[in-house]
Structure 1
Amino acid sequence: MADSTLLFIVLGATLAAFVWGRFRYDLVALSALLGSVILGLVPGEEAFLGFGHPAVITVAAVLVLSRGFERSGVVDVIADQVLKVGDRLFLQLLVLTGTVVVLSGIMNNVGALALLLPVAMRLAREHDASPSILLMPLAFGSLLGGLTTLIGTPPNIIIASYRGSITGETFGMFSFSPVGVAVALVGLAFIVLLGWRLTPQRAGKASTEAMFDTAHYLVELRVGEESKANGLSLRELQEELEETIPVLAVVRDEKRRAGHAFFGTLKEGDILLMEAGPEEMKLLEDKADLSVGKDAEDEGAEESEDDNKAQRTSETNQRDSADEEKDRGSDKEKKGKEKDKNGVDTEGLQLVEAVVRTDSMMVNRTITQLRLHNQFGLHLVAVARDGGRLKQRLHEIRFRPGDVLLLQGGESELAESLATLGCLPLAKRDLNLGQPRMLLLSLGIFAAAILAMFFDLLPAAVALSTAALVSLLVGVLPLREGYQAIDGPVIVLLGAMIPVGQALETSGGAALIAESMLVWGSEWPVIVTLIGLFVLSMVLSNIVNNAAAALLMAPIAASLANGFGASVDPFLMVVAVSASCAFLTPIGHQSNTLVMGPGGYRFGDYWRMGLPLSLVVLAVATPMILLVWPL
């Protein structure tokens, strides 16, 4: 069997695995690499040379520099101004999306989105708007901004390095700017003026109240003298129940202690504030002999008897009215003591929302496997997916990218735990303006690297790696955070797929595809073939990771250029732009996945704005490429 045929089989299986999504893309890419080595398509001694490729080093350096911008407060200064935009939706969209476009040109576009996502959520909630209107434009804006510079997105870095391997000269830092800026500006105008109207307006779907309706789930349970819970720690109680039902607080002697920080044993008279539905409440009564208080019992009845919901709601309202009258009377006699007895009070429980990133260690794992409480000091309270709260047992849930979690933890450890887990906090945050000295220092280091690249003093990989190293040495970013900033799965994907992409060229596979396209387009102008290449690469980027799409399409583009006897530059630029325009699906780019949960989007929502935006990009980019990079 010919090498090209074997390689097509490997690539077909790889693409199928990417689409299936059962295994993470870095594992799929590594499997493709090792399979290619075993089949003799990639020499064994060259199998891991991709991990030292300039594109991989450049991506890692950009990720470290991006985290340094966040740490030094560069982005927070900008975000602080964004929050002052007011309540006009047009201005919110213009400022938010415009800001992420600019930031994505100077840092990793996923990092830029991650920094502004909490700002967008805060804007939506403060002005009582649906986050779904803001988040998809924000995600698409981050993709458009990545087109403008070499470091904005991995496909640009890959294409620049590939050009260097075949011509001896790479694309520079701003070689992408003439086309990228034009596309980004027109795309921004489309999103702000028309595109946002095409997004589904899931009013309230992504708000805390809609996703995590805790008022209907929080219950108070009392530890009695005969309760099995009497004398057990919270951990022992969960082991007894064989469930991960979170205890949010323990009330003892009218003082409340947060559940994640309670390490003593339970005593008679303790009240547990727990997050439990009807099934869990029955489990707690049967297995632990915990008695449900009157208010909680009423709530449980509401949850378990949907058929009589209206009648029970009416009865509950009557009881609530009676309780309010009673509480008002007792308030005069027991001032200050009614707070823990008057229903469920969640104030001060330090609950935080966070979204699971695509590179999170939580992906495809359960709460038991992660040992969330023992390892990270966090209680999982609830999980929302696709804009709605999951009803299944917490210990059964396998986390997916884009899931929104409601967590409880200590304020001091919360940020570090979320960062380690790979989760992005969505709750309101206080902007940290950083240290002025570090802010200016980080900007100065980055500017020096850009100048070194602009004047061809250093290759991009060397200049940016030096900037990242200096940032770590001078303390802009702690070493530990520098390592955390490097997106391991993306690095493995790039390092594994680069040799596979090269095998597509050496095996003759790229030439075969190019010949087929040449035969198809022989009677048409070259621009028609460029458009076909653009569409093919764009479709591929919506199915697999954009970096993988660029790696696979670059050899095909070069073979097409040779076939036409034309300059390779416009063909490579077509791949660079189209591979970064994954607007049709939530799986095509990490930015799209990141906003899916908070925005309450479904899989089929993206093409509504994504398809016309893709056509706009195609219409603007093609003539601009031919103008700047003639055939």
Structure 2
Amino acid sequence: MALESIGLAPSTLVFIILGLTLGAFIWGRFRYDLVALTALLASVMLGLVPADSAFAGFGHPAVITVAAVLVLSRGFERSGVVDVIANQVLKVGERLLLQLLVLVGTVVVLSGIMNNVGALALLLPVAMRMAREHNTSPSLLLMPLAFGSLLGGLTTLIGTPPNIIISSYRGNITGENFGMFSFSPVGIAVAGAGLAFIVLIGWRLTPKRSGKASTEEMFDTANYLVELKVTEDSKANGLTLPQLRDELEETIPVLAVVRDDNRRAGYSFHGILREGDILLLEAGPDELKLLEDKVGLSAIAEPEPEDDPSEGEASGNSGAEKEGDDKRQPVDTEGLQLIEAVVRNDSMMNNRSVKQLRLNQQFGLHLVAVARDGSRLKQRLRDIRFQTGDVLLLQGSEKEISDSLSTLGCLPLANRELHLGQPRKLAISIGIFALAIVAMLFDLLPAAVAMSTAALVSLLIGVLPLRDGYQAIDGPVIVLLAAMLPVGEALETSGGAEIIANSLLTFGVDWPIYVSLVGLFVLTMLLSNVVNNAAAALLMAPIAASLAQGFDVSLDPFLMIVAVSASCAFLTPIGHQSNTLVLGPGGYSFGDYWKLGLPLSIVVLVVALPAILWAWPL
């Protein structure tokens, strides 16, 4: 389609496409990778992006580097880092300030050497375990932990995608990329100030959700379990548990089968049901009626108070509801292998149901309950489409559950002694990473080549299984970067970035240049809170470069402003994957984030601007 036939200037068309793209990002109805791909194809059809270079972004060094860092980060997760960190962090004691200092300080350091979402994934189960052992509200630990992962990503080239994007953009303009530790002087100053603020003051601004945020409260399983008996006339008599589920056409997991006073977990019971068996399961009134109507199972009646209580105990502490009592008696859940897990942003479960995932058949997992935004979902399990941050209560075999959770993309939260992945290969993993860093520092290899080589060696020597390596690559993020890179270039080549920069220059002509830097910082930070931080960096980099050219000053401080502000999405749970990941376990609401995020953003701005001008003078 020729631009002349439309009658609009290329820059106008770019603004229209970007406006619609940002609107779609904010709306959230469609995944951001699909939105970015649509923007790319629209730009090609309108002649803004040459057709022969439409997909050049998939081979861009920034995209390759991000993919390689994701693989290396997963290698750290699988190499025993969780156990090493947990053993040390859990020794800090009961003082909340010390817990925050160790947790947030550790995630800041880790986020500098691996993907910040991966660093948070390592420490999230540790924080939950610490909260439970010391009777601390998880909400006081998790938001500071998430924000700490964002701050730590500022310290090195590979800590966060915006740094990689800005480095690559500088290379395209000046012929020289930012180095591995070019971001460190500013990043360390900002991360240190942010850490001090969070530990000393900021944690007081987070909501204390002692009830909803506690997964024990969300999943008060023992008080929801009922015991149903198989009678001679029950249709369930003679069925296996899979046949029973097929008959019900409903996701009602049987957690245990009691036969002859012996209780076996549902996942390990493979025989047929027979008269006298007692099924232990979780069911509400609707499910109880369904079980009675379809397969003839009904709840065991509780003994009256005057009866011998031992009769009730012999049937396993019946969980049926007493007449006139609004709460069932708790049922012992010992040995049922119940575990809580949170859905990651890169999970294959996102926007899919239990039936689509075939959780039981393919992964050997029973879904027992789901909590979202700190509250247990009341709808039928089969109707739930999982979202990032959902907290799941699952049952499965201890031998298989760790691999199943890893494959599904879930983080275990329960206080347990599961070791995710392969045996410890931490030293090998760190050694490979260190060699890659040395190659980058001495300019032996470009960042993309060094990181890709390290990722490949990790796969070849078995630090990370090949399947896990492919799963570690966050497809939506890769597509987003690859699609938005040409669109961002179109913003520059069409003159759109120059138009925006000239408008800012006109507005700030009577003000010192520092005011324009503050405006650029705030604009990028606000944008990163509603769109992916990588997209914010891609869109704002050309504008920053045009501003620097208009002021006739050095490009570097303007690019550093974009790099720092794009990674400081502290105001909303959707601004960064780390924020979304703690939403469910912490029991937060959408409006909780700005209470700590806004003052932290101000701290970052106040510290970052002079640090940038000191390290990268105009």
Matched, 1:346 2:333: yes
8 Å CA contact retained: 1:442, 1:471: yes
Map 1:494-509; keep pairs closer than 5 Å. 494-509=481-496
8 Å CA contact retained: 2:403, 2:421: no
CA distance in 1, matches of 2:166, 2:293: 63
Matched, 1:14 2:21: yes
- Aligned position for 1:154: 161
- Offset from partner CA, 1:229-285 (integer Å, 9 cap, x none): 222232332232221111111222222222223333322222111110111112211
Distance 1:384 1:36, change over 3 A: same
**Match among 521, 537, 546 for residue 534 of structure 1:** 521
* Range with bigger deviation, 551-560 or 62-71: 62-71
CA distance in 2, matches of 1:245, 1:434: 29
Matched, 1:105 2:88: no
* Range with bigger deviation, 526-535 or 273-282: 273-282
8 Å CA contact retained: 1:149, 1:176: yes
8 Å CA contact retained: 2:71, 2:469: yes
Map 1:130-141; keep pairs closer than 5 Å. 130-141=137-148
8 Å CA contact retained: 2:573, 2:580: yes
**Match among 422, 429, 434 for residue 409 of structure 2:** 422
Secondary structure of the 1:294 match is coil
Matched, 1:5 2:12: yes
* Range with bigger deviation, 178-187 or 365-374: 365-374
CA distance in 2, matches of 1:445, 1:192: 33
- Offset from partner CA, 1:276-328 (integer Å, 9 cap, x none): 01111122112222121124xx9xxxxxxxxxxxxxxxxxxxx5x656x622x
- Aligned position for 1:513: 500
- Aligned position for 1:608: 595
* 2:309 partner amino acid: K
- Aligned position for 2:468: 481
**Match among 130, 133, 140 for residue 126 of structure 1:** 133
- Aligned position for 2:255: 248
CA distance in 2, matches of 1:43, 1:238: 54
**Match among 444, 450, 465 for residue 463 of structure 1:** 450
Matched, 1:58 2:45: no
- Aligned position for 2:323: none
- Aligned position for 1:413: 400
Matched, 1:210 2:210: no
Secondary structure of the 2:425 match is helix
Unaligned regions of 5+ residues in structure 2, if any? 1-7, 320-328
CA distance in 1, matches of 2:215, 2:613: 48
Number of aligned residues:
601
8 Å CA contact retained: 1:67, 1:485: yes
> 1:215 Cα deviation (Å)?
2.5
8 Å CA contact retained: 1:76, 1:431: no
- Offset from partner CA, 1:412-462 (integer Å, 9 cap, x none): 111111111111111124375999983222222211111111111111111
- Aligned position for 2:150: 143
- Aligned position for 1:316: none
CA distance in 2, matches of 1:579, 1:140: 13
* Range with bigger deviation, 124-133 or 21-30: 21-30
- Offset from partner CA, 1:116-135 (integer Å, 9 cap, x none): 00000000000111000000
CA distance in 2, matches of 1:239, 1:592: 38
Map 1:342-421; keep pairs closer than 5 Å. 344-421=331-408
- Offset from partner CA, 1:117-165 (integer Å, 9 cap, x none): 0000000000111000000000000000000000100000000000001
* Range with bigger deviation, 64-73 or 539-548: 64-73
* Range with bigger deviation, 577-586 or 346-355: 346-355
* Range with bigger deviation, 488-497 or 620-629: 488-497
8 Å CA contact retained: 2:402, 2:419: no
Secondary structure of the 2:611 match is helix
Give the alignment's Cα RMSD to 1 decimal: 1.9
- Aligned position for 1:274: 281
Structure ranking higher in helix proportion: 1
> 1:107 Cα deviation (Å)?
0.6
8 Å CA contact retained: 2:312, 2:318: no
8 Å CA contact retained: 1:445, 1:470: yes
* Range with bigger deviation, 183-192 or 390-399: 390-399
- Aligned position for 1:47: 54
- Offset from partner CA, 1:38-58 (integer Å, 9 cap, x none): 222211111111011111111
CA distance in 2, matches of 1:222, 1:433: 37
**Match among 251, 264, 269 for residue 271 of structure 2:** 264
CA distance in 1, matches of 2:364, 2:353: 16
CA distance in 2, matches of 1:330, 1:557: 73
> 1:339 Cα deviation (Å)?
4.3
Map 1:157-176; keep pairs closer than 5 Å. 157-176=164-183
**Match among 554, 557, 565 for residue 567 of structure 1:** 554
> 1:362 Cα deviation (Å)?
1.2
* 1:505 partner amino acid: E
* 1:61 partner amino acid: A
Secondary structure of the 1:503 match is helix
- Aligned position for 1:312: none
The TM-score with structure 1 as length reference comes to 0.92
- Aligned position for 2:616: 629
Secondary structure of the 1:373 match is helix
CA distance in 2, matches of 1:78, 1:448: 23
- Offset from partner CA, 1:550-601 (integer Å, 9 cap, x none): 1111111111111111111000000000000000000000000000000000
* 2:407 partner amino acid: T
* Range with bigger deviation, 601-610 or 422-431: 422-431
* 1:383 partner amino acid: V
The TM-score with structure 2 as length reference comes to 0.94
CA distance in 1, matches of 2:247, 2:424: 54
- Aligned position for 1:334: none
Distance 1:102 1:391, change over 3 A: same
CA distance in 1, matches of 2:335, 2:289: 27
CA distance in 2, matches of 1:489, 1:61: 15
CA distance in 2, matches of 1:405, 1:5: 47
CA distance in 2, matches of 1:375, 1:431: 21
* 1:532 partner amino acid: G
> 1:216 Cα deviation (Å)?
2.8
**Match among 195, 207, 215 for residue 200 of structure 1:** 207
8 Å CA contact retained: 1:514, 1:559: yes
**Match among 444, 448, 454 for residue 435 of structure 2:** 448
CA distance in 2, matches of 1:434, 1:294: 45
Distance 1:330 1:563, change over 3 A: closer
- Aligned position for 1:308: none
* Range with bigger deviation, 481-490 or 156-165: 481-490
8 Å CA contact retained: 1:471, 1:477: yes
Matched, 1:234 2:241: yes
8 Å CA contact retained: 1:47, 1:499: yes
Secondary structure of the 2:366 match is strand
CA distance in 1, matches of 2:31, 2:373: 20
- Offset from partner CA, 1:485-524 (integer Å, 9 cap, x none): 2212211111111111111111111111111111111111
Secondary structure of the 2:227 match is strand
8 Å CA contact retained: 1:70, 1:76: no
Distance 1:513 1:386, change over 3 A: same
* Range with bigger deviation, 234-243 or 388-397: 234-243
Distance 1:239 1:181, change over 3 A: same
- Identity among equivalent positions (%) equals 77
Distance 1:249 1:58, change over 3 A: same
Unaligned regions of 5+ residues in structure 1, if any? 299-318, 332-336
Map 1:82-93; keep pairs closer than 5 Å. 82-93=89-100
